[in-house]
Amino acid sequence: MNDIIKILPESVANQIAAGEVVQRPSSVVKELLENAVDAKSSTITLIIKDGGKTLIQVKDNGIGMSKNDAIICFNRHATSKISNANDLFKISSKGFRGEALASISAISHLRLITKQDNFELGTDIIIHGNEIKSNRSIVSEIGTDIYVKNLFYNIPARRSFLKSDNIELKHIIREFFIIALSHPEINFKLFNNNKEEYNLKAVSLKKRIIDLYGPKTADKLVPVNEETEILKINGFVFKPEFAKKTRGEQFFFVNNRYIKSSYLNHAIINSFDGLIDTKYVPSYFLNLTLDPSKIDINVHPTKTEIKFEDEQSIYAILRSAVKHSIGQFNISPVLDFDRDKSLDIPYNYVNKNNSDSIDLEVDTNYNPFIDSNNTNKYLKINSFKDELDSMEFSSESNELNEINFRDLENQNLVNSTFQLNKKYIINRTKGSLIIINQERAHQRILYESYLKSITLNKITSQKLLHPIEIEFTKPELQILKVNKKILTQIGIDFTISENQIKILSLPAYVTENEIKNSIDNILFHLGGNIPIESYSDSDFISKILSKSMSIKNGMSLDKNQQLNIVNSLFACKESRLCPSKKKIYIEISKTEIDNMF
Ligand code: ADP
Ligand code: MG
C-alpha cells in the first residue's frame, strides 16, 4: 500500500489547536488581557460588542512588538516568554505556550496595530483565518491594539453554539474581573456596546475589590497576611456573616495567576468551621506568593490548574492564616450600626455540638399554600384542573399527558398522611403505598402554578408601602438588570441604582421577609451556577422560582400541609417528575408488598 500519512498544513493545525484554546469569546478576552499584562502595560482597555461575537478589542500601552515580531507572533509556539525547557520551571509571565495568537487568528478576522517605544512608525496587520491580508506601516501610539472580529466565522458549528450576548458578556466580565483583581496596580477600562462599564484606577487590592463589588464591600473585608519560609499570603476574606450561597467571589491567585483549587478552597472552608452555616460558602480574594520552581502550571492549556510541590503544608498554612485573621476580627469586632440586617445569616456554632440533628423550628400554623388573600387558586383542585386545560402545554407535559394524567377520583387517595424523616409524605391508595418527596412535590406544584400565571399574565403584585432596599454587588446588579423584564413579569418590580435595588412591589406569593432570600436564590440560578434546561424564558424563570420558593426537605409539615401537597400534586399535569425531571414519588403496590413477605 502507498504511504498515506501526511503532515497537516499549519493553518489546519492551528484551527484544530484553536478549539482547545478558544472555547468562547471570553477565552479570547483572557488571552489578550494576559498578553497586555505580560507586555508591562499600565493601562489596558477592553472593548466588547455584542457579547464579543462582533468585536473583542484590547488596547494596551505596553512594550509593543517589532515589525518582524508582529508577523511571527501568529505562528504556533511563537513566544518571547520562554526559550528553553528550564524556563518552564521559573515562569513569571501569564503566557508561555505561544498558542493564543496563532489560535485566535485562525478562527477570526484579526487586526493588530503595534508600536515599540523607540520607533517612528508602528505596524498594522490584517489577518483572516491565518491568511495575511495586509501588512503596512502606520502612525500609531506606543503599545498594542488588537481587534478580533467575527469569531468562529469559519467554524459555523462553533458559532451557533455560542450563548446569548448577555451570557457571553457575563463570561467576559468574569475574565475581566480575574485580571483586574490579580493586577490592581494596572488601570483597566471596559466598554460594552459603546458604554463605559468600568473605569478602574491603579490602586491597592482592597480598593480594587471595592471598585469592582461596590462601596459597601469595604465593611465586609478582613485582611489576611502571613509570611512563612515557603509561602506568602496576602489578601482578604469576607467576614463570616457575609457568606453566601453562591461561589461567585472566590479567588485564589498564585504568583498573580488565577487558579482553581478545590483542595485549597477546602482549607478556607475549614478555617470558617462553625462560623458559617454549612449551606453557605465564604468569599475570598487571596494571593499566594511562592517560588515558581515549587509549582507546575503546565498542567492544562487554559492554565487555571496548578500543581504544588508541597500541597499539604500550603493547605495547613492557609487554613491557620485565615483562621487567625477571622479570630482577630472576632475579638475586636468593628461596631457597625448601619449594617443591613437582611444580610445577616444565623451563626451555626451555637448548634455545633448537635449539628447532626438540627431541628428546624417550624411554625405549625403556617400553611405555605394559603395566603390571607386566598389568591393561590391552585389549591382548589377542581378549578385548577379546569384552568389547566386551557394552559399552554410544554413538550414535556404533552408526552406525559398520555401516560400519566392522574384522575383524582380514581386515585382514591386516603385522607390521612404522615411525614417520615421530615422529608417524605406517606400516603396510601387502594392498597398500595405512596412515598412522596415533599420538596420535589412542592416544586412541581409551584412550577405549574408559576408557568401558568406567567403564560397567562396573571401574576398579581402588591405595591409596597415602604419600598425595600437591598444591597448587591455590581456583578449581581448586572444580572438583575439583564433579567429585569422577566422579574417584573413575575411580579417583582424594582429600580436599580449604583449599589442596590429598591423593590417597589412584590408578588402575592412572597412575603417581605422572604424577598432577600428569594432574590439571592434567583440570582444564584440566573448566574448560571447550576445549568437549568429550559425551552422558554417563562419556563426558565418558573423553574428557578419553584426551586427557590418551595418548602425544603427537613421541614416539619402539619397534617394540613401534607394533605395539601398530596392533593395539589395529583392535580398537576405531571405528578411523577419535578421540574428538573427527578422522581417525585414511588409507589409500592399491594402485590409488591405481599411479595416482600
Ligand atoms: P504567549 O503569550 O504564550 O507567548 P501568544 O500567542 O499569546 O503567546 O503571544 C505570542 C507573542 O506575541 C508573545 O510571546 C509576545 O511576545 C507577543 N505579544 C502578544 N501580545 C502582545 C502585546 N499585547 N504586547 C506585546 N507583545 C505581545
Ligand atoms: Mg499569550
Nearest CA to ligand 1 atom 21: 35
pLDDT number for residue 384: 32
Mean pLDDT in the chain?
80
Helices (DSSP H) in 215-310: which residue ranges? 262-271
pLDDT for 24 beyond 60 = yes
Instruction: Find the 288 Cα to ligand 1 centroid distance in Å.
Output: 25
DSSP designation for 379: G
pTM of the model: 0.64
pLDDT in tens, 421-468: 999 999 887 778 899 999 999 999 988 888 887 777 767 778 888 899
pLDDT-based confidence at 359, cuts 50/70/90? very low
Compute the average pLDDT of residues 167-190: 95
- Residue 81 Cα, ligand 2 centroid: separation in angstroms? 9
Determine phi and psi for 283, rounding to 5 degrees.
-100, 145
* Helix, strand, coil fractions of the chain, as percent rounded to 5: 40, 20, 40
pLDDT in tens, 384-432: 333 333 333 333 333 333 223 343 334 555 567 889 999 999 988 777 8
Specify the residue with its C-alpha closest to ligand 1, atom 2: 95
pLDDT digits (tens, 9 = 90+) for 126-157: 999 989 999 999 999 999 999 999 999 998 88
Does ligand 1 have an atom closer than 6 angstroms to the CB of 35?
A: yes
For 383-432, give the DSSP string. HHHHHHHTSPPPHHHHHHHHHH---HHHH-B-S--EEETTTEEEEEETTE
Q: Is 118 exposed, middle or buried (0-12, 13-18, 19+ CB in 10 A)?
A: exposed
Lowest mean pLDDT among 26-30, 168-172, 239-243: 239-243
The finding on whether 39 has its CB within 6 A of some atom of ligand 1 is yes
Question: Is the CB of residue 75 below 6 angstroms from any atom belonging to ligand 1?
Answer: no
Q: List, for residues 46-81, the tens digit of each pLDDT value.
A: 999 999 999 999 999 999 999 999 999 999 888 888
Q: Residue 247 pLDDT > 80, yes or no?
A: no
- Of the chain, the percentage scoring pLDDT greater than 70 comes to 82
Question: What nine digits make up the cell of 477?
Answer: 446588579
User: How far apart are alpha carbons 257 and 94 in whole angstroms?
Assistant: 7
What band does 328 get if pLDDT is binned at 50, 70 and 90? confident
Q: Which of 34, 45, 73, 94 for mutating ligand 1's site (highest number of atoms within 8 Å of CB)? A: 73
For the CA of 36, the nearest ligand: 1
pLDDT of residue 32: 97
The reply to whether ligand 1 has any atom less than 6 angstroms from the CB of 288 is no
Distance CA 413, CA 416 (A): 8
Pairing state of beta strands 221-227 and 232-238?
A: antiparallel
- Of residues 238 and 17, more confidence is placed in 238
pLDDT band at 301 (very low <50, low <70, confident <90, very high): low
pLDDT, one tens digit per residue, over 185-240 is: 999 999 999 999 999 999 999 999 999 998 888 888 999 999 888 899 999 999 88
434 touches 420 (CB < 8 A): no
Q: Which ligand is nearest to the CA of 73?
A: 1
pLDDT at 59: 98
Lowest mean pLDDT among 23-27, 300-304, 503-507: 300-304
| pLDDT tens-digit series, residues 480-538 | 888 888 788 778 899 999 889 999 998 876 777 778 877 887 787 776 655 556 667 77
Q: Ligand 1 centroid to 111 CA: how many Å? A: 14
pLDDT above 90 coverage of the chain, percent = 38
Q: Which of 100, 185, 172, 186 is nearest to 143 (CA)?
A: 186
